[in-house]
Structures are given as structure tokens and as C-alpha cells.
Structure 1
Amino acid sequence: MSDERALADTQGRFVQVVKSGRKVNDLEWLSGRVLLSNKRLVLASNEGKRQIALAKVSTVKNRKNANQAMTAVSGYFSVQTGSDVFLVAPADIDAFEEHLYTALLDGEVVLVKHPAVEGGVVRDIEWEKGRINIESDVVGLGVASGQFVEVELEDVGAVDAREGTVRGDERRVLEVEHTDEEGTSVQTYISGTSRHVSILESLVRQGELQNATDADLDQTEMEVLMALYSGVSPFEIPEFVGMDVEAVEAIFDRLVEEGILREKRVRRDVRLKARGRNIASDVIGDQ
């Protein structure tokens, strides 16, 4: 493996929870080294060394969306290769996960439709080839037409994975809601091998879970939120909702603190974050 290069080498803990398709009883976490290259994930302990070829990894689930009820460690990710599943808990899980997703996805070619939906309106856009670029907390998609689509994980509002028709074939499609440079809600569709879509889904769902719609808003706060979602300029909100400027700015401050709004450079110029878009979308769906 002359082109193999090291990406991470740290201490950690790990355990195999599924072996040959069967759940393992009497789990015992092992301590040792967790090594990652652009080719392999290596789990080394006093009991031996397990090497996992990245090309054979079919799914990755991080500690925020993994279904395993494991409390022996505070942070971990699961890796499935064939009919085996391992849980891995590196010392610095955030940095290690970034290296892992980069090794698994960076440079891979997928099909992209962007924007498939813009401002709630379905666009007549063709599928194009695109190349994945993984940076810190950002998924980039370099599309053949020349555009570069950036999806910030903290800006992801909703994620859906389904089967769909792509260029005449039934394929797995990942639908990701986020905003463009102007702050407009858009959906980017991504398709590829089931492996690529599964791993990419795990990555972007980190942002979706961070933006869960669990805020407790009162009536006036909801009115301001819905006005922003409807496209009313932040500067026109006081007149639109019939409130004085100071009261509206106090609501802006509260919504910024809740992670629902993002404050821009100018005072009272704000933009809905993914969490705010989800709340407004839920309200509209219930009407």
C-alpha cells in the first residue's frame, strides 16, 4: 500500500457488538490504540490487532444517532463492515470522526441535483455528476456545471433518505434541506452507491439532530418567527406584527440565544437558522 498515509493515531476503547451477523453477549470494552489511514481503521490492544478496510465499511453511525444503548463510554461511533459491527471510542472523538468521514467520502463521485427545491418550489433541475469535499463541519459538492454547493452541518434543517428514480434507475436518494448564500431555504438531492449515501446521511444527520425543534416559544415569539419564515425583512417586523422596536429586538435576542436565529453584522438584521426553519415548517404543516 505505497499510497497509504496516516491520518490519526490516538488512544481509545473499542468493542465488537455484532460478529457474523449475531449480537455478541458479555461485551467487554478493550483499551488500546485507534489508528486511521486513508485505507484502514486499526484497533490494537494487548489481545491483538483488528484491521478494517475502509473500502468495506458499509455504514457509520456516530454517538448522536447510534442505536446501541452503550453507557460504558461517553462518546463513540459504530462501524459496520460486512456482517460485523464495532463500536469505537477515540480519546478525541470529534477530531477522529472528521478524519474518518474525510477518509470515507472525500473525493468520491456522486450525482447531485441542486437546488432540487428552492423556497418551497420544486425546480426542474437535471442530475449532474459531483465530487464530495469534506472540510471541518462542511460538506462541499463540486458539480460538473461549475457550481460549488456548500452544506454547513449546523445549517442542516431536515434530512430524508428514500428510494427514487435517478437517470432511469432506482437508486438511493438523500434529500438535505439547508440555506443558500442568500439565506433561502433549499434542498439538495444527492445519490450514489448505497454505501456512499448511507455514510453521508450519517454525517449530515449530525446537523439535523442538533437543530431539533424542541424550543418552548410564546405566542409573540412564534409570530415573529413565522413572519421571518414568510420572508418579512427583520427591519419590517415591528410594523408587521404590531410591536415596538425594543420588544422585537428583545425577541430577536431570545431567539438568537435559543439557536433559532443567526445574527448578522447589522443590528436587527437576522436570519433563520435550521432550527427556526424546522419550527416554522412544523407549524405550517399542522395548519
Structure 2
Amino acid sequence: MKKIFYSNGKLLITGEYVVLDGAIALALPTKMGQNLVVENGSDKKIVWKSYDFDGSIWFDDTILFSDIVNKKSFENNAVKTTLIEILHESYKLSPVFINESDGYIVSTNLTFPKFWGLGTSSTLINNIASWLQIDAFALLRNAFGGSGYDIACAQNNSAILYQLANEKPLVKTISFNPVFKENIYFVYLNKKQSSKTAIANYRSKQGDIAKVIPTINEITEVLINTTDLQEFTKQIEKHEVLMSEILEMQTVKQSLFPDFDGIIKSLGAWGGDFVMVISENNPIDYFATKGYDVVVSYDEIIL
């Protein structure tokens, strides 16, 4: 019997990094995501295929149940090793899917290019958790770490406020539909950023984060309530300056687009994936001249 699961992608608008330390973050699920199709198999193994958005296969392999149980690693196959790690942590949370099965045939299908950084891993983890009826936040924590906001986006079809309180996720769905959304665009920076590496960098440089969190929370509160574009851009700029100081890094506008007539904000891990752009005029031509061809409107990408 075929089972199908689907999870939304994500964009983190406020609270990047500091969400790990209790800040309230605004995050938006995307119209693009990933599904997981599971059928019965045999021979105590999983035959696994992963498809990119264009139908091309980017991972095709067989994983033995014994590899999952023993958490076997493969030096020359990082994707397979990571997948086994996720499935091993799943097995620890629910051994029944290995102990009481003959095997599986599994396929995953992305509806966004996997290098975009919209949540290839988080959508997979949430889909696996849905399949095995285990806690997706626990699975993420055990397999990768991270705040879990991406899991919350995977599970919800509207904007969310996300916070970690005593390491437990607090998720509040909200209505977020800015009247000036035609001025908001998202630009892909042509490289995928490693969340693990970015978090490690943050941990090595952070000072007294507790002092900054109330300000970040205030910014988030204003952003979700204001109907004034100037106020919105003012708060976005304030957020960028604060995070620039914490991370000891230039803002993305300073480093890549100093001549841009508008506001640019990093989303999630600084230095890669998508940025949010606020502009009075359509910025497609500007970014094309800089070599950045993926520019999408708010309505094109946000669920």
C-alpha cells in the first residue's frame, strides 16, 4: 500500500541564529516543498530514490536494515551516510518500522531546486516523522540539531511565530499578509549555506545574546503588525545591523550590493541561500547585472 506525505519549505524572516537562544522568530512556509512516497518492499532493505524539482534523480541507492540499526557510515557517500543517520535516529524513536517490516520502496520529490536551501533536510525529516508517527522536533534534535523553526514551517500552512522555551518549541500560527508585499522579493545568492557551519560560527562569536533578544522580539512584533512600508524597512535595517554586530560580519548589502537602491536582509544562515529584498521598483534587472538570476516575488514563493 502506497503512503504519501508532504512538507512545506521555509524562509526565516527574523531571529536568525538568536532563535537558538530564545528569541521569537517570524518564519514563512513556502509554496514549494517535498513529498515522500512509501511502498512495501522486501529483503530487509530500503530501495531509495530522490528526485529534484526537474525530475532528475539526485540520489539512488539501497539501504540495508542492518545498516540503519548499526548506523553504518560510508566514507565516499555523504548523502547515504546522512540518510542512515536520520533513519537510525528514527529507529531509536520507533523500532517497529524496522523490526516489523520486510522492506520498503521509498521516493522523495522536491518541488524546488535542492540547492535553494528551502528545507531539503527539514522537509525530509518531517515527512519521515509523519510516516513513522514520531516527534519531528525530537528527530531533528537527535539527528542534526538546530532550532526547529523549519519543522514548524513544514507542518503549518501559514506564517508562524516560533520560540524555544526550555528547549521546547512554541509555535503560534499568525496571519501575515503585508499590504506592501508587491515590494518584497526574494533573491537566491547562488550558493547553499551549511546551517551546521553557520551555527558553529555563531556560537564561537556570540557575546551577551540576552541583551539583544528583547530588541529582536520588538522588531518581530512591529513587522507582523505594521501596515507602513517605511516602518517595515526601518525595522529590517535595524535587525541587519544588530545581527551584523553579533556575527562580526558585514551585512549582505554591504558586502555584495552596496549600490542597491533598497533594503536587503539575510534570511537564515548568512552568506548563502535567499535574501529578502524590499524595493520600490522591480529589482530583477539590477540583480541580473550582478549575476543573480533567481528573483521571485512574494506571492510566487510564500504560501
TM-score by length of 2: 0.28
Q: Which structure shows the bigger proportion of residues in helix conformation? A: 2
Q: Pick 1 or 2: higher relative contact order, CA cutoff 8 A, min separation 6.
A: 2
